[in-house]
Chains A and B, each alone.
Chain A
Amino acid sequence: MKKMMLTAISILFLTGCAAFEQTGPVHVKIHDSENGTVKEVAQRIEDTKELYDSVVVAADSTLVVSYKVKHMNRFQMKSIEKKMKSWLTEKYPEKEIVLSSDYKIFMELYAFSDKWQTGELNEQEAMDEIEKIIKLKKEMT
């Protein structure tokens, strides 16, 4: 019984840690023209001290940004998102901007960037994948 409890508790702790480990930052550009965009956004996230891990995916029509918020700053998640969103929309008014601090979106984007970088996807497939992730982000219930 004691052994079982110990195993259960250690599994709880380990899974808890795994979710908040730093895996990124990852920067992906679908079209070559977006090199500057990716660099700028990544720099901005780096400069924001409340955030610690990021995936930035830029295509010529859309910009998807996902980040993790440091634990004690999670109380200000809304205001951080608002600030980032207004900065991005001001900077890139012609793009569709999707911003998320959701762990699932982060994971999906990370998996996508892995696939893109190994060359498994062509441009059309990549855009479809991004569209899928955006749809997942917009789901509310």
Chain B
Amino acid sequence: MANQWVTQSKAAADAHELKRPVLKNCVKAFLVGGLICTIGQLVTLLLILYFPFTEQTAGNPTVAIMVFFSMLLTGFGLYQKLGQFAGAGSAVPVTGFGNAVVSAAIEHRSEGLVLGVGGNIFKLAGSVIVFGVLSAFFIALIKTVLLQLGVI
């Protein structure tokens, strides 16, 4: 009886629910994500042209600069608007990491500097760091074993 009621009400709710525009969201994410990456490429090119970085070494400072940009934009309240529009397009590139760190810090500012900001700043971005370090460790382990065995 209860089960029937659930299916009925679900069908009634589905009839009123707006359909999710998946394709439109994908296109938006693609364009904005691509634009962010183009800006990153420009930063790399500027580092190569005007500073003593090679293509090999320009990667790390580029990541740092992009994260810094997104931190500034989050602080000014602009990155949220971009995230509203682009969804995953603004969250997946490394700029999303900066946004996650700073937005958590702003959110918990009212609880104080140590327990509020310090305790919660990596609330969202912490998993990125944990799984980044973990996967780097395992890949290094696999590479070391393969090198010792003489496969590569």
Contact = CB atoms under 8 A, between A and B. Distances in A.
Contact of A104 (B38, B41, B48, B60): B48
A107 B42 CA distance: 17
Contacts of B41: 16
Main SS class of interface, A: helix
A105 B56 CA distance: 10
A139 B48 CA distance: 14
Given A12-B38, A141-B60, A102 B55 contact: yes
Contacts of B52: 104, 136
Nearest to B59: A141
Contact of A105 (B38, B49, B54, B60): B54
Nearest to B58: A104
Contacts of A104: 48, 52-55, 58
Contacts of A137: 54
A140 B48 contact: no
Interface residues on chain A, size class: 10 to 19
B56 A139 contact: yes
Interface string B32-54: 00000010011001001100111
Nearest to B57: A139
B54 A15 contact: no
Interface of A: 12, 15-16, 19, 102-105, 107, 136-137, 139-141
Interface of B: 38, 41-42, 45, 48-49, 52-58, 60
